[in-house]
């Protein structure tokens, strides 16, 4: 404290001069309309710039919460869209929900009513751990059994396919990433509707291989690759990526296609876990066929 007082005393002339300068500036602004207007316009601009900067800082630290809300909204919209899909059958009306089956009597006597299937349910989750540097990469999300997540469920993002659930605890789940050399996803070439298999080769985390496309198909760079829906895990039409490279070796049976993933896994923050309410039925039926063929 003594040093501060000594410093002010030793520099009293400078501080007096500074005080008089501020007083003079205030008198000029206060007693002259033009100078006053310019000062207040400049000060308002400076204050607005500072406010914008501080708001930008606040917005940056709130991005996580905003992303969480958008992810939940996206999952809700997907759920609503799935509920609105309908098919018409010549039977009494049957509403198949996630928890119950309700039979509604018909009164028109014509015998044509609606069957509404709520096949998929979408659960929003946040990524809490993610790897892209190994041959077998996994992702940890902050939802588990308490949110209805089970082993084998598909995981997608707003930009494309992510992977499928491997292990589930009460509050967390570990997802096998599509960036895993043992993961294969049934895919379709949107332009020609030919299907094959997408698999990562363990090299570039932005590129996967699209296998089993025959030479007569003629794929081109930029073609869209999506999930085929030919299994009970991933819904059809989910984006995987676009063809980045096309090669066909002489006498080869299939193209060597490279697909650039639509989802950058280095920036993965929120995902949607997809629950297929008809998966068990489809898997059981396919297992019966396999046993009969053996």
Question: 41 and 132 share a domain?
Answer: no
Question: 11 and 128 share a domain?
Answer: no
Question: 131 and 47 share a domain?
Answer: no
Question: Domain holding 172: CATH number?
Answer: 2.40.10.340
Q: How is the beta sheet containing 93-96 ordered, strand by strand?
A: 86-89, 113-117, 93-96, 101-104
- Reading the chain (294 residues) residue by residue, the pLDDT tens digits are 788 888 878 888 888 888 888 888 778 767 777 766 666 666 656 665 675 676 677 667 767 777 777 777 777 776 666 666 544 333 333 333 333 333 344 444 444 333 344 678 889 898 999 989 999 999 999 999 999 999 999 999 988 999 999 999 999 999 999 999 999 999 999 999 999 999 999 999 999 999 999 999 999 999 999 999 887 789 899 999 999 999 998 889 999 999 999 999 998 888 999 988 777 777 677 677 777 776
- Does some domain include residue 33? yes
Long-range contacts of range 1-7, CB-CB < 8 Å, 24 or more positions apart?
Answer: none
Pairing of β 113-117 and β 256-261: unpaired
Can you give the pLDDT at residue 294?
Answer: 67
Question: 15 and 144 share a domain?
Answer: no
Question: 36 and 142 share a domain?
Answer: no
pTM for the whole structure: 0.64
Residue 183 to residue 293: CA distance in whole angstroms: 26
- Does some domain include residue 265? yes
Can you give the pLDDT at residue 264?
Answer: 92
Question: 139 and 241 share a domain?
Answer: yes
- Does some domain include residue 233? yes
Question: 33 and 141 share a domain?
Answer: no
Question: 135 and 274 share a domain?
Answer: yes
Question: 155 and 231 share a domain?
Answer: yes
Task: Please report, to the nearest 10 degrees, the dihedral formed by the alpha carbons of residues 166, 257, 238, 277 taken in order.
Answer: -40
- Does some domain include residue 247? yes
The half-sphere exposure of 284 on its side-chain side, counting CA atoms within 13 A, is 5
Residue 240 to residue 160: CA distance in whole angstroms: 5
Question: 199 is in which domain, residue-wise?
Answer: 120-293
Pick from 38, 61, 84: which residue ends a domain?
61
- Does some domain include residue 8? yes
- Does some domain include residue 100? no
- Does some domain include residue 255? yes
Can you give the pLDDT at residue 221?
Answer: 96
- Does some domain include residue 273? yes
- Identify whether the C-beta of residue 247 lies closer than 8 Å to the C-beta of residue 255: yes
Question: 52 and 128 share a domain?
Answer: no
Query: Three-state SS for 166?
Result: strand
Pick from 13, 43, 61: which residue ends a domain?
61
Task: Determine phi and psi for 32, rounding to 5 degrees.
Answer: -130, 120
Residue 187 to residue 191: CA distance in whole angstroms: 12
Question: 51 and 143 share a domain?
Answer: no
Contacts of residue 254, defined as CB under 8 A and 6 or more positions apart, other chains included, come to 196, 211, 212, 213, 214, 215
Domain count, the chain: 2
Can you give the pLDDT at residue 277?
Answer: 78
Question: 161 and 56 share a domain?
Answer: no
Pick from 35, 61, 87: which residue ends a domain?
61
């Amino acid at each position: 404290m003594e040093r501060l007082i000594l410093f002010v005393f030793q520099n009293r002339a400078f501080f007096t001069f500074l005080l008089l300068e501020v007083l003079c500036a205030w008198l000029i602004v206060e007693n002259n309309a033009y100078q006053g207007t310019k000062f207040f316009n400049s000060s308002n601009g400076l204050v607005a710039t500072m406010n914008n900067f501080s708001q930008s800082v606040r917005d940056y630290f709130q991005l996580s919460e905003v992303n969480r809300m958008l992810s939940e909204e996206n999952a809700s919209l997907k759920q609503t869209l799935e509920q609105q899909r309908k098919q018409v059958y010549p039977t009494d009306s049957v509403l198949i929900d996630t928890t119950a089956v309700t039979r509604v009597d018909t009164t028109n006597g014509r015998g044509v009513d609606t069957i509404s299937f709520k096949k998929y349910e979408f659960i929003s989750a946040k990524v809490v751990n993610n790897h892209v540097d190994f041959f077998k990469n996994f992702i940890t999300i902050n939802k588990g059994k308490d949110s209805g997540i089970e082993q084998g469920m598909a995981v997608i993002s707003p930009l494309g396919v992510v992977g499928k659930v491997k292990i589930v605890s009460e509050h967390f789940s570990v997802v096998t990433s599509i960036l895993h050399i043992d993961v294969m996803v049934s895919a379709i070439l949107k332009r020609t509707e030919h299907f094959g298999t997408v698999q990562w080769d363990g090299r570039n985390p932005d590129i996967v291989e699209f296998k089993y496309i025959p030479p007569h198909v003629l794929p081109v760079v930029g073609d869209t690759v999506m999930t085929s829906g030919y299994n009970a895990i991933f819904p059809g039409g989910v984006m995987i990526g676009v063809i980045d490279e096309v090669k066909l070796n002489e006498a080869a049976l299939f193209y060597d296609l490279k697909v650039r993933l639509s989802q950058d896994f280095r920036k993965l923050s929120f995902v949607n876990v997809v629950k297929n309410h008809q998966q068990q039925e489809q898997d059981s039926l396919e297992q019966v066929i396999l046993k009969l063929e053996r």
